Each structure stands twice: as C-alpha cells, then as structure tokens.
Amino acid sequence: MRLGNWFRIALVVPAQRAEDASAKLFELGCAGLQEDVVDQGVCLIAYFEDHDTQTAVYQACENLSSDLGCVSDIHLECVPDEDWTTSWRSYFKPVYATPRIVICPPWAPEPVPENGFIILIDPKMAFGTGHHETTRLALMGLETCVSGGERVLDVGTGSGILSIAAMKLGASSVFAVDTDPPAVENTEENLLLNDISGRVVVREGSLSDAEGVFDLVVANIISSILVPLLPGISERTKKGGRVVLGGILDREQMPFRQAILDAGFEIDTMLEEGEWICAVGQKR
C-alpha cells in the first residue's frame, strides 16, 4: 500500500468551540473535514494534501488545541493514496433530518421522500452536512416556518444547506452571507448541485451586508457570535416575521432566551436534540 501526499490530523475540541476550530483548520489548508461527537466534545479529522506541510500544520494544531483548552492528544497519520477517496466518501451517509428532508452526497443520492425532497451536499464543510444536531434542528425549524413565498436571510450560511432547504420548501428568494471565503465557495458549488444557483444570492460578508427586511431570518452559529448579532437580526426581520436561531448548547438556554426577548422576539418553540437547542420565534 503506497503512502502518498495526503495526511490527516485528528483532535478533540469542546463542542462549543468546534466551529471555530473547523474554520481554523480550513485556514491551514484543510481539503476535507469530518466530525464525530464523542464524550469529551467533537472529534475533528482534517485531511491535508501537501505532505511537506505536516510539521507546520501539526504545530499550528498544537497551538489551536492549547488555545481551545483541548484535553486530548493530537493524532497525525499519512493516508494511502488508494484509500483516500474510499475512506473520505464512505463517512458521509444520507441523513434524514425530517421525514420530508434528506441530505446526501452527490455520489450516493437517496430516493425522494413522499411530499419531500433531497438536498445534495458536497461535504467540504464540517458543519452543514446534516450530521450535526444543530443543522438538523435548524432544518426542522425551517420546515415549520416556510409555507411559500418568503424572503429569507441565511446568516453564516456555511455549506448553504439551509438556503437550499428554504428554496425547496417554497421560499421566493434567499440572501446568504458568510465571512469565510471557503464557505461561500462551497455554498455556490452546492447551489449548482441542487439546480438553484440562479435563485439564491450569496455574498462573502456579514449581517451588515444584507439590505432591507426579511420574512424569515435563519442563523445557525455558536452563541458567542450569534448573541451579539441578535439586535441586527431584529432590524432585518419584518414585524411579525420569523426567526430560526440555532447552534446553542442547552446549558446556555436561559441567557439565550433572555437575549432573544431583549432583541424584540417572542419564542414560539425551543427545539432540542442531544445537548443542542434551536429557537423558533417571531418578531413582536
């Protein structure tokens, strides 16, 4: 078995810091990222193509691990060339987020569920493949909020999965923003896969780059980023408009509820899965 240029690094990070760690790994040149929920948090396995960068990447991951307060060792290993495609693709299985919404990779499409649809996602982003609880919760929230014709804002779009779902549920338009260039690129690729690239506007930027007001705003982002954005989200949500706000740990529920109320929203329901929650609300 021939060892090639690929190598992978595995590290376990606290659940609430997984998204920050994922972004850093992509900055280091990660070409693919998978995640597993474990007892200590989230195990991130990052794949890199250039064997010559091993030492520099490993050192950067050690620094990252120290900054995030990780408790496990970092594991690095070379990946055999002939095993790369099989091992990478075999991880991504179809996910039934709801009885109507199925997420699957383009090489393994599932049958379209009755009265539902499939979302094809090329899994280059750690969050946004449907495997994480926060993504599934946000999709559940979207399903209850989109009845047809809504103008939707997707803040921190990631892989674009929520924008795609909103359109397939019947939204009239979606404006998607993300500060991370690889996320914007991945979103555009996934829009093409789902034949809706001309119907969703994607921008590299933040909430301030969205103009006007929207019928529905969805944001699936960790609390340290999401909570400061709530006043701005309120400004961009029309009176009586809906919000789907996820990425929050259940232990953060009480201060998160208060922050939502302070921003001018009422909470209709709080969805829960595992240690994660997602608020579905309405602007007063």
Residue 113 lies in a domain: no
Residues 6+ away with beta carbon under 8 Å from 95: 102, 103, 104, 129, 130, 131, 136
Both 145 and 274 in one domain: the answer is: yes
Mean pLDDT per 10-residue section of the chain, whose length is 284 residues: 67 82 81 76 83 85 83 78 55 85 89 94 70 90 96 95 97 94 90 92 93 96 91 97 94 94 96 92 95
Domain closes at, from 66, 90, 114? 90
**Given this model, what pLDDT does residue 90 score?**
64
Domain closes at, from 90, 117, 133? 90
Residue 11 lies in a domain: yes
Both 147 and 68 in one domain: the answer is: no
Q: Tell me: the pLDDT tens digits for 143-160?
A: 999 999 999 999 999 899
Distance between CA 241 and CA 229 in Å, rounded? 17
Residue 101 lies in a domain: no
Residue 72 lies in a domain: yes
SS3 for 218-237 is EEECCHHHHHHHHHHHHHCE
What residue type is assigned to position 21 of the chain?
A
Both 196 and 133 in one domain: the answer is: yes
Both 131 and 217 in one domain: the answer is: yes
Both 132 and 218 in one domain: the answer is: yes
Both 15 and 65 in one domain: the answer is: yes
Both 198 and 259 in one domain: the answer is: yes
**Given this model, what pLDDT does residue 180 score?**
86
Both 86 and 177 in one domain: the answer is: no
Both 132 and 228 in one domain: the answer is: yes
CATH number at residue 73: 3.30.70.240
Quickly list H helices, the chain: 18-27, 54-68, 81-91, 133-145, 161-169, 181-193, 223-235, 253-262
Residue 96 lies in a domain: no
**Given this model, what pLDDT does residue 238 score?**
97
Both 73 and 204 in one domain: the answer is: no
**Given this model, what pLDDT does residue 131 score?**
77
Residue 115 lies in a domain: no
Q: Tell me: the pLDDT tens digits for 87-141?
A: 556 667 788 999 999 999 888 888 999 999 999 998 765 457 777 888 999 999 9
Residue 248 lies in a domain: yes
Domain count, the chain: 2
Both 243 and 167 in one domain: the answer is: yes
Both 7 and 83 in one domain: the answer is: yes
Residue 218 lies in a domain: yes
CATH number at residue 227: 3.40.50.150
**Given this model, what pLDDT does residue 2 score?**
40
3 state DSSP class of 265: strand
54-68 helix and 18-27 helix, angle to the nearest 10 degrees: 160
Q: What domain range is 26 assigned to? A: 3-90
